[in-house]
Amino acid sequence: MMTDLRRIRLGIEISGRLNWYEGMRISASGTKYANPLQNECSVNIDGLSSDTRDYLLTQTSPYTKNKQPRRLILEAGRVNTGLFRVFVGDIVSAEIASPPDVTLTLKAKTGNSSSGEIVSSSGGAIKKLSEIAQGIANDCQVKLDFQATDKNIANWYYCGAALSQIARLQESGHVKAFIDDEVLYVKDSSKALKNRLHILNMKSGMVGIPKATEKGLDVSFLIDGESFLGGMLRLDSKLNKSLNGDYIIEQLKFDIASHDDAFFYTATCKRA
C-alpha cells in the first residue's frame, strides 16, 4: 500500500492578490465554533525569504495605512486525494521569532474585518428570520445557508458591529448561527446541517478512544474533508460501545503540521 503523503497549503491575500505558500515547514492549530464566536487560527511558517517575510510583517501590521482586510486561507489534504479548506479568516497579527529560527507566526480570525464595521437595520413590525439572516450575510460579505425553521420576528432592530448581529440573530430566532468558510449557516439548535454525515470508526481515521462529556463526547480523528462544523458525526467505536450513536459537531479543533505528527481534528459533540 502506497503512503498518501500529506499536503498543507497556505494562502495569504493582500490588496486583492492571493499568494500561495507550499512545501515549507508549516504548522497550524485553531478552533472553529458552531456558534457566533469567531473561528480562530494560528499558523507558523518557516523558510520564507526575508523579502516575503518583511512584506507580510509590514502589510499585516496594525499601523499599515492599507485598511483592506488581509485574508488567510489554510488548506490541507493528501497528495493523491487533493486539498480541502480547513480555515478562512482575516489576519489579526504577525510576529517573528528570534534568529536563527525566523519562524513567522500569523494569527487570524473569521470575519474579523466585519467586527469593526457599524451597521444598523430594522425590520418593521414583523420580518422573517430568513430575510434578517440574508441582510446579516450581506453585511458580513458571506453567503447564506439557511436551514432553520423560518419564523416571524417582531420589532427587529439592531445597531452595532456587523459581526455581532450573528449573536443577536441566534438569540432572537432561538437557532444556531455561525460563519464557517465564508458562509453564514443558520440551523435549528437540535438538528445537524443537511447532507453532512461523517461515520467515524477505526477504519475512517479515529485516533485514540472517544471520551464522554456532560453533553456528548470529545473525539480525535485524522483530518479529512468530510467533517463539517454543525454536521452529524456517527460514532462506531469498538472499544467504547456505550458512546456509539449520532452526534452534532459543536466545535472542531484542528492541529496540523507538514513536518510533524499532528494532522488531527478534535471534535466536541453533543448527542443528537
Above 80 in pLDDT, residue 1? no
From residue 148, give the alpha-carbon distance in Å to each of 3, 54, 247, 254, 266.
Answer: 42, 46, 18, 27, 26
Distance CA 245, CA 270 (A): 11
130: left (phi over 0), alpha (psi -120 to 50) or beta: alpha
DSSP string spanning 13-50?
EETTEEEEEESS-EEEEEEEESSSSPPEEEEEE----H
Confidence tier at 241 by pLDDT (50, 70, 90): confident
Q: Packing angle between helix 165-173 and helix 129-139, nearest 10 degrees?
A: 170
Q: Which range, of 37-41, 76-80, 246-250, averages the lowest pLDDT?
A: 76-80
Confidence tier at 227 by pLDDT (50, 70, 90): low
23: left (phi over 0), alpha (psi -120 to 50) or beta: left
Neighbours of 52 (CB within 10 A): 15
Confidence tier at 224 by pLDDT (50, 70, 90): confident
| pLDDT one-digit tens code per residue, 107-157 | 999 988 888 788 998 878 889 999 999 999 999 999 999 999 999 999 989
Dihedral (CA of 76, 90, 92, 249) sign: negative
DSSP state at residue 58: H
% of the chain surpassing 70 pLDDT:
97
Per-residue cell: 69:
482586510
CB-based contact 249:228 (threshold 8 Å): yes
| pLDDT one-digit tens code per residue, 168-221 | 999 999 999 999 988 999 999 999 999 889 999 988 889 989 999 999 999 999
Mean of all residue pLDDT scores within the chain: 90
Domain 115-188: CATH architecture, name and number where available = 3-Layer(bab) Sandwich (3.55)
DSSP string spanning 151-198?
-EEES-EEEEETTTHHHHHHHHHTEEEEEETTEEEEEETTSPPTT-EE
